[in-house]
Amino acid sequence: MASKIKQGFHMNLVELPVADLFPTKSVSHQVKQGRKYGQVLSSIREVRLIEPPIVTPFKGGNGYLLLDGHLRIMALKDLGIKSVMCLVSTDDEAYTYNKYVNRLSAIQEHKMIVKAIESGVSEEKLASALNLDLQTIRQKRQMLDGICPDVIELLKDKNVPEHVFRTLKKMKAPRQVAVAMLMNDQNKFSIPYAKALLEMTSPEQLVNKGKPNKLTPAILARQARLEEENLALSREMGSLKEEYGTEMIDITAMQSYLKRLFGNEAVSAYLHEFHEAIFDKFKEIAELDFFKLKSIE
């Protein structure tokens, strides 16, 4: 008989006093001075709160533990708002909740801005709500102009910096697709990597053939070598994905990071003292032999 799946959240939002929500981490003065907090504060002031904070009841006591939404709650306090609609979690660990959170990608943000403008929201109103200048809103709205639809589909849920799309616009559609596939295969979406791939692109694959560059034999040799290395790495990544799956590759990378993390005595001691549950879970993952488990399966 299949085991019953545990429900992660209560079905309905609950209105709670802001004063009854207790944070699980502190918000520093530097964070409050930062751009992100300014965006949250401006957004709540202009259009009220959109994403509810995540809370869980204190066991055997009054009040609620705040799992997610510390900046939103701080902004509500600064704006003098006394109550807020919250999503109540059945789990009291912020780690359990946060590991399932997927933040907006640049493409998703672009689509939301375009949809808001098409719905009648002015660029000025959006800029005020997001605490951005008008030029930035326009750049985000026009971000995908000149980008091939196949590339948009490939990168729609990836954490790709906006400047990468500016680099892609310098290439013709077939080259854009090839570059996007390379980025996906290697899970590398940085601006320097995009610029390196642009440098490797032949003039025939560039929009208007790009700027005329002086191509010395050394530069041509380097471009050819980089192209060969990228293709070889892509084939290797494809082989690994077929053998172990994307999840196994991600788990292996994560385990390697955790091993380095526990190699730092100060970090390890801090986690053990102040976040014992997370410490135990991380240690368990770091010590597992995933390849052995897979062979048993």
| 57 strand-pairing partners | 64
Residue 78 has pLDDT above 60, yes or no: yes
Average pLDDT on 167-179 reads 92
Element (H, E) at 17: strand 14-17
Q: Which residue has the higher pLDDT, 41 or 129?
A: 41
Is the pTM higher than 0.75? no
The mean-pLDDT minimum among 101-110, 141-150, 201-210 falls in: 101-110
Q: What are phi and psi of 83, to 5 degrees?
A: -140, 160
Q: Which residue has the higher pLDDT, 96 or 263?
A: 263
> ∠ at Cα 98 (96, 103), nearest 5°?
155
Distance of CA 70 to the CA centre of its chain: 18
What is the Cα–Cα distance from 32 to 61, expressed in whole angstroms?
Answer: 30
| Paired tokens of 106 | 């640049």
Q: What is the pLDDT of residues 2-60, one digit of tens each?
A: 556 666 677 888 899 999 898 888 778 888 888 788 888 888 887 788 788 888 888 76
Contact 241, 186 (CB under 8 A): no
Beta-carbon count within 10 A of 112 CB = 13
Q: Which residue has the higher pLDDT, 210 or 137?
A: 137
The pLDDT score that the predictor gives to residue 285 is 82
Q: Which residue has the higher pLDDT, 293 or 281?
A: 281
Average pLDDT on 124-151 reads 87
pLDDT, mean over the chain: 79
141: exposed, middle or buried (Cβ count in 10 Å: 0-12, 13-18, 19+):
middle
Q: In CATH, what is the architecture of 14-98?
A: Alpha-Beta Complex (3.90)
The mean-pLDDT minimum among 144-148, 220-224, 241-245 falls in: 241-245
Average pLDDT on 276-287 reads 83
Residue 143 has pLDDT above 50, yes or no: yes
The pLDDT score that the predictor gives to residue 1 is 45
The pLDDT score that the predictor gives to residue 241 is 60
The 3-state DSSP class for residue 194 equals helix
Q: Which residue has the higher pLDDT, 132 or 1?
A: 132
The pLDDT score that the predictor gives to residue 297 is 46
Contact 191, 167 (CB under 8 A): yes
What is the Cα–Cα distance from 170 to 9, expressed in whole angstroms?
Answer: 46
Residue 291 has pLDDT above 60, yes or no: no
The pLDDT score that the predictor gives to residue 293 is 46
What is the Cα–Cα distance from 179 to 193, expressed in whole angstroms?
Answer: 10
| 88 strand-pairing partners | 55
The pLDDT score that the predictor gives to residue 91 is 67
Residue 153 binned pLDDT confidence (cut-offs 50, 70, 90):
very high
